[in-house]
């Protein structure tokens, strides 16, 4: 019967997908506008690239299970990362500039912030995570939709994507030694990020 329930929820989810897709579009446009404006004023782009993803019904099910939540629409609204936007910036300071300019916009509400740059995860993972809500305008009225925004540098993104694929390859094989080596890589990368930031500053200000 639980299979039947989940099939029904998947159908309901599909009707909701459009809302999350709309929210992704709104946030992406806001980010692109900020990046364009920056370029015209400061002659450089803080954003390197933007990636977006919509969580699949299957992953939503897995997450509901992980948190022991019932499979219904109410608990689905508890999942805040159905709409995901990843912003890859050139330099560390760009991350905070973009986060600030986005979250201070009048129609955006900041629900949650996790700064894994100031407080890296034990494995060395670094990124700024925001949960924001953005209004989307439908024929039936306005709705506030949550979006998870991950903001990181190119270097942090490089580490995160390789670490992610290594972990997915064989989770049981990530020994303590492998974790330690990955953590060390994250530290080296962080120091390169700082140096690149300094070089950028000295050229832009000098």
Interface residues with ligand 0O2 (CB under 6 A) are: 81, 114, 121, 123, 125, 129, 160, 163-164
Measured from the CB atom, is 92 or 160 closer to ligand 0O2? 160
Task: Answer yes or no: are the C-beta atoms of 95 and 152 closer than 8 Å.
Answer: yes
**Distance between CA atoms of residues 133 and 105, nearest Å:** 11
Cα(120)–Cα(124) distance, rounded to whole angstroms? 6
Nearer to ligand 0O2, 22 or 186 (CB): 186
Least spacing, CB of residue 67 vs ligand 0O2, in Å: 7
Separation of alpha carbons 101 and 82, rounded Å? 23
Q: How far apart are CA 166 and CA 178, in angstroms?
A: 10
> Smallest distance from the beta carbon of 89 to ligand 0O2, in angstroms?
16
Question: Distance between CA atoms of 39 and 189, rounded to whole angstroms?
Answer: 26
What's the min distance (Å) between Cβ of 51 and ligand 0O2?
A: 11
Longest dimension (CA), the chain: 68
Residue 112 CB, shortest distance to ligand 0O2, in Å, is: 8
The smaller minimum CB distance to ligand 0O2, of residues 121 and 194, is found at: 121
* Smallest separation (angstroms) from ligand 0O2 to the CB of 47: 19
Smaller CB separation from ligand 0O2, 38 or 151? 151
In the complex with ligand 0O2, the residue whose CB is nearer, 71 or 114, is 114
Q: Which is nearer to ligand 0O2, 91 or 125 (CB)?
A: 125
CA-wise closest residue to 113 among 80, 82, 143, 90: 80
- Backbone φ/ψ region at 109: left (φ over 0), alpha (ψ -120 to 50), beta: beta
Q: In angstroms, what is the minimal distance from the CB of 86 to ligand 0O2?
A: 8
Cα–Cα distance measured from residue 86 to residue 164, given in angstroms and rounded to the nearest whole number? 15
């Amino acid at each position: 019967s639980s299979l039947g329930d989940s099939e029904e929820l998947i159908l309901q989810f599909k009707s909701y997908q459009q809302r999350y897709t709309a929210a992704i579009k709104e946030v992406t446009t806001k980010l692109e506008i900020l990046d364009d404006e920056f370029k015209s004023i400061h002659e450089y782009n803080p954003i390197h690239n933007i990636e977006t993803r919509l969580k699949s019904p299957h992953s939503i099910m897995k997450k509901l299970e992980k948190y022991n939540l019932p499979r219904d629409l109410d608990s689905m609204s508890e999942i805040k990362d159905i709409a995901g936007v990843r912003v890859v910036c050139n330099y560390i300071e760009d991350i905070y500039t973009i986060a600030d300019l986005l979250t201070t916009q009048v129609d955006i509400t900041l629900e949650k912030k996790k700064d894994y740059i100031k407080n890296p995860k034990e494995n060395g993972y670094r990124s700024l995570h925001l949960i924001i809500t953005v209004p989307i305008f439908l024929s039936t009225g306005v709705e506030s939709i949550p979006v998870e925004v991950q903001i990181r540098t190119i270097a942090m993104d490089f580490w995160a994507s390789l670490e992610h694929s290594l972990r997915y390859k064989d989770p049981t094989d990530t020994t303590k030694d492998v974790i330690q080596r990955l953590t060390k890589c994250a530290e080296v990368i962080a120091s390169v990020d700082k140096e690149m930031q300094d070089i950028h500053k000295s050229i832009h200000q000098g």
